[in-house]
Amino acid sequence: MVTIDYDFQYFNPKDVLECGQIFRFSPYKDGYKVFSADKACYVYADGGKTFIECDDGDYFYNFFDLGRDYASINAIAMSYDVPLLQRGCALGRGLRLLNQNAEEMIYSFIISQNNNIPRIKGIIERICSSLGEEREFSGEKYYTFPSSKALSSAGKDFFRQLGAGYRDDYLAKTSARVAAEGIDGLYKLGSRELKARLLTYTGIGPKVADCISLFGFGRRECFPVDTWIEKLYREDFGGTLKDRNKINEYFCNLFGENAGYMQQYLFYAKRENFS
């Protein structure tokens, strides 16, 4: 077992895990168990530090993006004369963008559309327990995220029986395509080309493509637009555009290569204001 520690100021486990970018985690002891692909870790905060206990330190060092200077990203966010962004930056200083498994993100965000967090987590957990491999971490069993080959062999009815609803067809067709083609070629594409290619997969629209690009392929210039972003665009930016694609373009042009980070701060602040 390896233990990694990091400054809690720029790594708040609760904020990182509960901001909508990851679905495979659960409360455990003083923190959370987190699952990614075929790996697991225990993350918790104590005494001004955040600790990660795991069997693969290199994987989770990269997964939690610990090599990146979030103090500088925070300073960039504060430099914009946008009160909501500054508020999100101040309250959500401990937010981080995760470097997650791309295939897992493809299926997770297909499941996420028009869905709520508990239901998304439940569907994913049932898929893992049915098709994944059983492993053990910290004395308890868990299941890996299944391969595209395993997903494609399950069939449309399997996904419907697990509660995926109309997304059953999306999961069946996209997993069959990924199993046949692989996704290695996607990593070589520029961000615009990557989004365009993702849009050719069954069940992937613009917002889902941006989420997959941001959270699965590490394209930090992507800016997913959902109902929360539409709301803050109108209320906090005085925006008048109706087309989500144009709203996405507006924010990408405004924030450039840091758009993904700014999206998280804004999303966090708007949800906090609402609650």
User: Which residue from 165, 158, 153 is spatially nearest to 127, judged by alpha carbons?
Assistant: 158
Q: Each residue's pLDDT tens digit in the chain (275 positions)?
A: 999 999 999 999 999 999 999 999 999 999 999 999 999 999 999 999 999 999 999 999 999 999 999 999 999 999 999 999 999 999 999 999 999 999 999 999 999 999 999 999 999 999 999 999 999 999 999 999 999 999 999 999 999 999 999 999 999 999 999 999 999 999 999 999 999 999 999 999 999 999 999 999 999 999 999 999 999 999 999 999 999 999 999 999 999 999 999 999 999 999 876 54
Is the model's pTM score more than 0.85? yes
Residues taking part in catalysis: 207
Residue 258 CB: number of other CB atoms within 10 A? 18
Q: Where does residue 163 fall: left (phi above 0), alpha (psi -120 to 50 degrees), or beta otherwise?
A: left
